[in-house]
């Protein structure tokens, strides 16, 4: 009775009646088709990558251990959905085989430390085993390995860069163990540079598969395919699809961003009882998508990127000397992770931030004959960025 009364109060406070939910405009046929968790039947313009990954997975079904693989590419290039599609196909094949224990796939998203990532792996393998959280890393690993060592096991670690720099320890155990293949997914092209243990580099030694950015034509094909599943007939015309694809291409060829534009435009249409998605709605949806895109990008970054951005956000909007940012970042990384990081590496991270449009560097002369210095400042909206960065760095124990 309490639950029913709460629902009635909820509806009354919104000044709507129970018919509201039944009379929503016919915009979405299957809204899920535009979300990141949806795995479609087809993956336009990713057939070659899908076949290559499926080939490696297939070795496990033949009784061989697949090679380690590192799947690289920018955000929104289809890395995760392609791997999940292969996993779906793989599991379907295994379920139809006489021997169900010949091979298995375990998919996880990395945590901020090697130990927490190992715990997630353990939970995925055996959800009932909660005692593993109280064990040391080595004891937990031994327990996990005991459960999978007799089966060809493909361990997929999405956002594998998140567990670096100390994630090398887990990567060492995984890549040195029999019957285990590691599939890492990352949008950090320089991921291998994050591994500071030569033994891990040698044992992991992955085959690399690069997912390149989509062009405008490819984005339009993806949007047409998803829109046909997501919307009722006549809701989205081809001109709107082309317009949305062009916007996403200008934003770096990110398919996830393109899908978000359609998704948010559809939500606006439902909210305002509009029966067709127009170019105007796409423009309005862009603001909502930009906020979400910013949060997603920040969550994909390394702790070094985020620490530098956090330092830049301190003490107002004034540009800050580049050297000061580097020195403060080194100090924080040394304090929190016990490791040194070179100015060259920090320079690479800062260049990546500039390429992504988060910061801009300014060359300032020191006066006649005195050379010049570099200043750096945030180049995007600060409000959402500040809160999101603090949340993520809080997970690392930095703020």
- For residue 237, the model assigns a pLDDT of 95
Does pLDDT of 15 surpass 70? Answer: no
Which pLDDT belongs to residue 339?
80
Mean pLDDT, the chain, rounded, equals 87
Secondary structure (DSSP) of 339-394: ----HHHHHHHHHHHHHTTSEEEEEEE-STTS-EEEEEEE-S-HHHHHHHHHHHHH
User: Residue ranges of the domains in the chain?
Assistant: 25-33+214-296, 47-211, 301-395
- Three-state DSSP at 301 gives coil
Say which CATH architecture domain 25-33+214-296 belongs to: Orthogonal Bundle (1.10)
Confidence class for position 371, pLDDT limits 50, 70, 90: low
Confidence of residue 23 (pLDDT cuts 50, 70, 90): low
pLDDT of residue 366: 62
User: What residues are paired with 208 via a beta bridge?
Assistant: 70
Among 3-17, 136-150, 186-200, which range has the highest average pLDDT?
136-150
Give the pLDDT score at 35: 94
Task: Give me the sign of the Cα torsion angle 228, 230, 232, 234.
Answer: negative
Q: What is the rounded distance in angstroms from the CA atom of residue 304 to the CA atom of residue 294? A: 17
Better pLDDT: 68 or 378: 68
Domain 47-211 CATH (choose: 3.40.80.10, 3.40.50.300, 3.40.640.10, 3.30.70.20):
3.40.50.300
| Confidence check: pLDDT of 372 > 50 | yes
Q: Taking Cα atoms as reference points, which of 319, 313, 316, 307 lies closest to residue 377?
A: 319
**Rounded to an integer, what distance in angstroms lies between the CA atom of residue 176 and that of residue 97?**
29
Q: pTM of the predicted model, to two decimals?
A: 0.75
The whole-number pLDDT of residue 303 equals: 83
- Confidence class for position 202, pLDDT limits 50, 70, 90: very high
How many whole angstroms separate alpha carbon 177 and alpha carbon 195?
Answer: 18
pLDDT of residue 229: 97
Segment 34-52, tens digit of pLDDT: 998 999 999 999 999 999 9
According to the per-residue pLDDT averaged within each range, which of 57-71, 98-112, 367-381 is highest?
57-71
- Distance (Å, whole) CA 296 – CA 25: 30
pLDDT band at 357 (very low <50, low <70, confident <90, very high): confident
210: helix, coil or strand? strand
**pLDDT, position 395:** 75
- 234: region left, alpha or beta (phi > 0 left; psi from -120 to 50 alpha): left
* Residues 293-351: tens digit of each pLDDT: 777 778 778 888 888 888 888 866 788 888 999 999 999 988 888 888 888 888 888 88
Least Cα distance to 161 among 301, 352, 309 occurs for 301
252 falls in which pLDDT band (50, 70, 90)? confident
Render pLDDT for 206-248 as a digit per residue (tens, 0 to 9).
999 999 999 999 999 999 999 999 999 999 999 999 999 999 9
CA distance 227 to 34: 8
**What is the pLDDT, as a whole number, of residue 163?**
87
As its CATH architecture, domain 301-395 has Orthogonal Bundle (1.10)
The pLDDT value given to residue 1 = 43
What pLDDT, on a 0 to 100 scale, did the predictor assign at position 247?
A: 92
* Percentage, residues of the chain above pLDDT 90: 52
Burial class (CB in 10 A: 0-12, 13-18, 19+), 362: exposed
Instruction: Kindly compute the dihedral angle of the four CA atoms of residues 37, 43, 44, 45, in this order, to the nearest 10 degrees.
Output: 110
Q: Which pLDDT tens digit goes with each residue over 105-156?
A: 999 999 878 899 999 999 999 988 878 888 889 999 999 999 999 999 999 9
Structure tokens at 373: 């210095």
């Amino acid at each position: 009775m309490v639950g029913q009364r709460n629902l009635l109060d909820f509806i009354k406070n919104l000044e709507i009646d129970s018919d509201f939910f039944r009379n929503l405009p016919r915009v979405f046929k299957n809204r899920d088709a535009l979300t990141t968790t949806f795995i479609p039947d087809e993956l336009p313009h990713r057939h070659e990558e899908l076949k290559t990954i499926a080939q490696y997975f297939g070795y496990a079904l033949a009784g061989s251990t697949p090679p380690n693989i590192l799947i690289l590419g920018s955000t929104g290039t289809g890395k995760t959905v392609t791997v999940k599609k292969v996993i779906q196909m793989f599991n379907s094949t295994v379920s139809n085989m006489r021997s169900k224990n010949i091979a298995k796939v375990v998919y996880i998203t990395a945590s901020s430390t090697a130990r927490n990532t190992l715990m997630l792996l353990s939970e995925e393998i055996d959800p009932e085993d909660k005692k593993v959280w109280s064990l040391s890393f080595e004891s937990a690993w031994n327990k996990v390995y005991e459960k999978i060592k007799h089966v060809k096991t493909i361990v997929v670690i999405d956002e594998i860069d998140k567990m670096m720099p100390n994630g090398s320890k887990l990567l060492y155990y995984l890549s040195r163990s029999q019957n285990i293949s590691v599939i890492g997914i990352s949008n950090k092209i320089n991921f291998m540079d994050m591994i500071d243990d030569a033994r891990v580099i040698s044992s992991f030694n992955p085959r690399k598969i690069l997912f390149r950015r989509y062009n405008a034509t490819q984005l339009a094909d993806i949007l047409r395919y998803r829109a046909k599943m997501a919307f009722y007939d006549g809701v989205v015309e081809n001109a709107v699809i082309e317009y949305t694809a062009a916007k996403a291409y200008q934003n770096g060829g990110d398919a996830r961003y393109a899908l978000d534009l359609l998704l948010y435009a559809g939500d606006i249409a439902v909210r305002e009882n509009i029966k067709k998605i127009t170019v105007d709605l796409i423009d309005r949806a862009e603001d909502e998508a930009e906020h979400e895109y910013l949060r997603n990008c920040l969550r994909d970054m390394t702790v070094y990127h985020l620490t530098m951005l956090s330092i830049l956000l301190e003490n107002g909007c004034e540009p800050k000397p580049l050297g000061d940012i580097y020195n403060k970042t080194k100090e924080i990384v040394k304090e929190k992770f016990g490791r040194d990081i070179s100015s060259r590496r920090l320079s690479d991270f800062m260049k990546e931030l500039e390429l992504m449009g988060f910061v801009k560097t300014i060359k300032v002369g020191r006066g006649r004959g005195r050379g010049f210095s570099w200043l750096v400042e945030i180049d995007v909206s600060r409000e959402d960025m500040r809160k999101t960065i603090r949340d993520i760095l809080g997970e690392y124990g930095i703020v």
